[in-house]
Chain A
Amino acid sequence: MGELKLNDKVVVRVVDVTRRYFMGKVEVNALRGINLLVARGEFLSIMGPSGCGKSTLMHILGCLDRPTSGHVHLDEVDVDELDDNSLAEIRNKKVGFVFQTFNLLPKLNAIENVELPLIYAGIGFDNRRKKAAELLKVVGLKERMFHKPSELSGGQSQRVAIARALANDPSIILADEPTGNLDSKSGDEIINLFQELNKRGITLIIVTHDQEIADHSKRIVRLRDGLVVSDESMK
Chain B
Amino acid sequence: MINSFWEEIKQAWRALFSNKVRSFLTMLGIVIGIFSVITLVTIGEGAKTYITDQIKSLGAGYDSFILVAGRDAKAPPNPRFVYSDIAYMKSRIPEIRDIVSLNPSSGDVSYGKKKLKAPLIIGGTANIIQMMGGAVIQGRFFNQAEVEARRKVAVIGPHVARDFFGESSPLGEKIKLRGKNYLVIGVTQARGSIGPIDVDKRIVVPITTVKNIIGTDKIMRFNIFPKDVSRMDEVQKKVQQLMQKKLKNDDFHFMTQQGILNIVNNILAALTGFVSGIAAISLLVGGIGIMNIMLVAVNERIREIGVRKAIGAKRRDIVLQFLIESMFISLFGGLLGIIFGLTGAFLIMWFIKGTLIIAWWAVLLATVVSAAVGIFFGVYPALRAASLDPVIALRYE
CA distance A122 to B390 in the complex (A): 21
Q: In the complex, which residue of chain B has the Cβ closest to the Cβ of A176?
A: B394
Interface centre among A93, A120, A122 (most CB of B within 10 A): A120
Pairwise interchain contact B317-A120, C-beta atoms closer than 8 A: yes
Pairwise interchain contact B15-A103, C-beta atoms closer than 8 A: no
Chain B interface size range? 20 to 34
Pairwise interchain contact B394-A64, C-beta atoms closer than 8 A: yes
Q: Please give the distance in Å from B54's CB to the nearest CB on chain A.
A: 57
Q: In the complex, which residue of chain A has the Cβ closest to the Cβ of B310?
A: A97
Secondary structure at chain B's binding surface: helix, strand, loop or mixed? helix
Contact with A along B298-340 (1 / 0, CB 8 A): 0000011011111111111100000000000000000000000
Q: Please give the distance in Å from B232's CB to the nearest CB on chain A.
A: 65
Q: Please give the distance in Å from A88's CB to the nearest CB on chain B.
A: 4
The number of residues on chain A lying at the interface, defined by a beta carbon within 8 Å of a beta carbon of chain B, is 28
Pairwise interchain contact B394-A99, C-beta atoms closer than 8 A: yes
Contact with B along A52-74 (1 / 0, CB 8 A): 00000001001011000000000
With contact pairs A107-B15, A122-B1 given, residues A116 and B394 touching in the complex (Cβ less than 8 Å):
no
**Given the complex, which residues of A lie within 8 Å of B7, measured CB to CB?**
119
Q: In the complex, which residue of chain A has the Cβ closest to the Cβ of B8?
A: A119
Q: Which residues of B approach A to under 8 Å, CB–CB?
A: 1, 3-4, 7, 11, 14-15, 18, 303-304, 306-317, 390-391, 394
Interface centre among A84, A89, A124 (most CB of B within 10 A): A84
With contact pairs A103-B303, A107-B18, A119-B3 given, residues A65 and B391 touching in the complex (Cβ less than 8 Å):
yes
Q: In the complex, which residue of chain B has the Cβ closest to the Cβ of A97?
A: B310
Q: In the complex, which residue of chain A has the Cβ closest to the Cβ of B303?
A: A103
A117 at the interface (CB under 8 A from B): yes
With contact pairs A64-B391, A64-B394, A122-B3 given, residues A105 and B312 touching in the complex (Cβ less than 8 Å):
no
Pairwise interchain contact A97-B315, C-beta atoms closer than 8 A: no
CA distance A124 to B5 in the complex (A): 11
**Given the complex, which residues of B lie within 8 Å of A107, measured CB to CB?**
11, 14-15, 18
A121 at the interface (CB under 8 A from B): yes
Pairwise interchain contact A89-B312, C-beta atoms closer than 8 A: yes
8 Å CB contact of B314 from A62, A120, A164: A120
**Given the complex, which residues of B lie within 8 Å of A59, measured CB to CB?**
391
Q: Please give the distance in Å from B250's CB to the nearest CB on chain A.
A: 77
Q: In the complex, which residue of chain B has the Cβ closest to the Cβ of A118?
A: B3
Interface centre among B15, B310, B316, B391 (most CB of A within 10 A): B310
**Given the complex, which residues of A lie within 8 Å of B317, measured CB to CB?**
120
With contact pairs A85-B315, A88-B315, A120-B317 given, residues A105 and B310 touching in the complex (Cβ less than 8 Å):
no
With contact pairs A88-B309, A97-B310, A107-B18 given, residues A124 and B3 touching in the complex (Cβ less than 8 Å):
yes
**Given the complex, which residues of B lie within 8 Å of A103, measured CB to CB?**
303, 306-307, 310, 394
